[in-house]
Structure 1
Amino acid sequence: MVYPATLEQDGDYILVRFPDIPEAMTQGQTLEEAFDMAEEVLGLCLEDQKNFPEPSPVQDIRKKFPNKEVALIGLDLAAYRRKYHSKSIRKNVTIPEWIANMAEEDNINFSQTLTEALKEKLCV
């Protein structure tokens, strides 16, 4: 996902706002920090959504905010979730006994196999 953001100097900080996602705003002391924080706040605001706002064209944002710099901020939501929500949690599952027996005989790690299958199913 890529969204346009506005950047403006405010004292010692660079303020970053996403016009298409009003709740997404942050700041950084350097341009690099501002971009890092922008990606993080974008992920935080979008991580639980099913339907994402349509990004505005950059030229529309420049017209609407002529006194601000405009930058495109990209977000790999799968990478964001891996980075910030990667702790493992316990889940109880029910599987047929014969499959469980075969898997145990082959020393298959159930947690690893379930994780791999879910990632494949979810295309992440």
Structure 2
Amino acid sequence: MSTKLVYPATFEQDGDYVLVQFPDVPSAMTQGDSIEQAYEMAEEVLGLVLEDEKEAPKASTVSDIQKRYPDKQVALIGIDMAAYRRKYHSKGIKTNVTIPEWLKELAQQENINFSQTLTEALKDKLDV
């Protein structure tokens, strides 16, 4: 699945709330107290629903959605799935690594935090 996805969403005022639905991703629906909050919630729910999908659903065009839902406002909602995963799935996990004994001793003498150093090195290597 591509890391950056864009889907059209419908926005509809319903009493005190703005309802948001993604016709191409039916299980992705949410609401907000304002249009700004509804937009923020739309990004979150889209990430939540798509995070475990192996293949993203095909996105319709804005004009197709507008024809199907003429009484609703339509906007494109984009999400970077890699950024979403970093934001919501960043708990630390324990992992074992193997390094030369002399390097471990030298790092310990310098009070280097192994977890922090490995995290920084991996982020640098992966350009994230």
What TM-score, normalized to structure 2? 0.78
Residue identity matched to 2:93: I
Q: Take 1:94 and 1:107, find their aligned partners in 2: how far apart are those partners?
A: 18
Residue identity over aligned pairs, in percent, reads 69
Aligned partner (choices 50, 69, 83) of residue 87 of structure 2: 83
Moved over 6 A (4+): none
User: Structure 1 residues 106-115 or 19-28, which shifts more?
Assistant: 106-115
Query: Which structure 2 segments of 5+ residues have no match?
Result: none
* Alignment correspondent of 2:96: 92
Query: How many aligned positions are there?
Result: 124
User: Structure 1 residues 28-37 or 87-96, which shifts more?
Assistant: 87-96
CA RMSD of aligned residues (A): 2.2
Q: Structure 1 80/103 Cα, relative in aligned 2: closer, same or farther at 3 Å?
A: same
Shift of 1:32: 0.6
User: Structure 1 residues 84-93 or 32-41, which shifts more?
Assistant: 84-93
Q: Take 2:13 and 2:114, find their aligned partners in 1: how far apart are those partners?
A: 52
* Alignment correspondent of 1:48: 52
Query: Which structure 1 segments of 5+ residues have no match?
Result: none
Residue identity matched to 1:12: D
What TM-score, normalized to structure 1? 0.80
